[in-house]
């Protein structure tokens, strides 16, 4: 569709952070393709936006991803690889099926969507791709080994895409969210004790909001970030830098 608007596809746009990203992009004038494996959620989010189209589909399927871009109906200016899953468990207990599922959706899904996007962007006027990672891409944590490994791989893939696709006019960056009070972490933060400990451990003294991540997407998508390429933007209130501040130390002698 050529109505002068920029076109964005947001994967996993039917819930949590992806729904907030879809709304923020609509607010700055994008026509948004809200893609989700949950068709009802994709439709509900798209119906709440002024110019949007819902796309039911699985990011691990090349056919479904090609169909999503067909439904969008115009070359994408922006693609946000936000769809993701987590399977909790210590590595010595995690099933192979769970490990494979996480690799499939998070890492393979990111590649399938990004490649399909880049081919279309390269044939048009270029574009922007943003991949969602996690602070677990940088700092490991118990029980999220498979998830963290995929996020670290996406961070590397982002750098690889940036150097291969930069010459084609495509900027590729990543966003690493910290403790976000939404989506897959929302059940975890329903416990007031967990909220207090996690929120209190962040230097900015609060959990992150889905909108904090959406704002970072809007920035990286914009011309204000036109020379930012291959970067992983950590949006975590400073928490992964604060480990030394949280360890006991001797009081200053002077
Ligand atoms: N919530 C957090 O604290 C947090 C922290 C760091 C990173 N992240 C990342 O942010 C992104 C969004 O997470 P969220 O917290 O909003 O989770 P969420 O579970 O609320 O949303 C993920 C969405 O992806 C969709 N999805 C799952 N598999 C899919 C597939 N195969 N194809 C298409 N869609 C699929 C789901 O239906 C869901 O709507 C993820 O990549 C996640 O790893 C979240």
Q: Output the domain CATH number for residue 217.
A: 3.40.50.720
Average pLDDT over residues 73-96: 98
Pocket of ligand 1 (CB under 6 A): 11-12, 14-18, 36-38, 41, 58-60, 82-85, 105, 109, 132, 134, 177, 179-180, 182-185
Q: Which atom of ligand 1 is nearest to the CA of 135?
A: 6
- Tell me how far apart the alpha carbons of residues 134 and 106 are, in angstroms, rounded to a whole number: 11
pLDDT of residue 253: 67
Cα(164) to ligand 1 centroid in Å equals 26
- Tell me how far apart the alpha carbons of residues 244 and 238 are, in angstroms, rounded to a whole number: 12
Is the full-model pTM beyond 0.85?
Answer: yes
Percent of the chain whose predicted confidence (pLDDT) is above 70: 98
Residue 123 lies in a domain: yes
| Residue 38 structural domain | 6-235
Closest CA to 89 of 148, 136, 149, 143: 143
Q: Is 227 a catalytic residue?
A: no
Residue 13 lies in a domain: yes
Q: How confident is the model at residue 246 (pLDDT cuts 50, 70, 90)?
A: confident
Cα(105) to ligand 1 centroid in Å equals 10
* Residue to substitute in 21, 137, 174, 183 for testing ligand 1 pocket (most ligand atoms within 8 angstroms of CB): 183
Residue 27 lies in a domain: yes
Residue 251 lies in a domain: no
Cα(247) to ligand 1 centroid in Å equals 32
């Amino acid at each position: 569709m050529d109505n002068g608007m920029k076109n964005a596809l947001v994967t996993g746009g039917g819930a949590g952070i992806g729904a907030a990203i879809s709304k923020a992009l609509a607010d700055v004038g994008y026509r948004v393709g809200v893609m989700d494996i949950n068709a009802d959620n994709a439709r509900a989010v798209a119906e709440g936006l002024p110019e949007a189209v819902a796309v039911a589909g699985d990011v691990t399927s090349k056919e479904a991803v090609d169909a999503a871009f067909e439904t969008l109906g115009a070359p994408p200016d922006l693609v946000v690889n936000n769809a993701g899953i987590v399977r909790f468990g210590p590595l010595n207990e995690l099933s192979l099926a769970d490990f494979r599922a996480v690799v499939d959706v998070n890492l393979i899904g990111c590649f399938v969507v990004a490649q399909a996007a880049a081919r279309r962007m390269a044939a048009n006027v270029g574009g922007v791709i943003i991949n969602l990672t996690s602070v677990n891409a940088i700092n490991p944590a118990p029980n999220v080994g498979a998830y963290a490994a995929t996020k670290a791989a996406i961070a590397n893939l982002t750098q690889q895409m940036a150097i291969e696709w930069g010459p084609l006019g495509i900027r590729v960056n990543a966003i690493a969210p910290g403790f976000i009070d939404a989506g897959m972490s929302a059940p975890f933060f329903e416990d007031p004790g967990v909220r207090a400990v996690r929120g209190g451990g962040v230097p900015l003294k609060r959990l992150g909001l889905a909108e904090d991540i959406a704002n970072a997407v809007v920035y990286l998508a914009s011309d204000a970030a036109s020379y930012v390429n291959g970067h992983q933007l950590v949006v975590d209130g400073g928490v992964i830098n604060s480990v030394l501040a949280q360890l006991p130390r001797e009081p200053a002698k002077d």
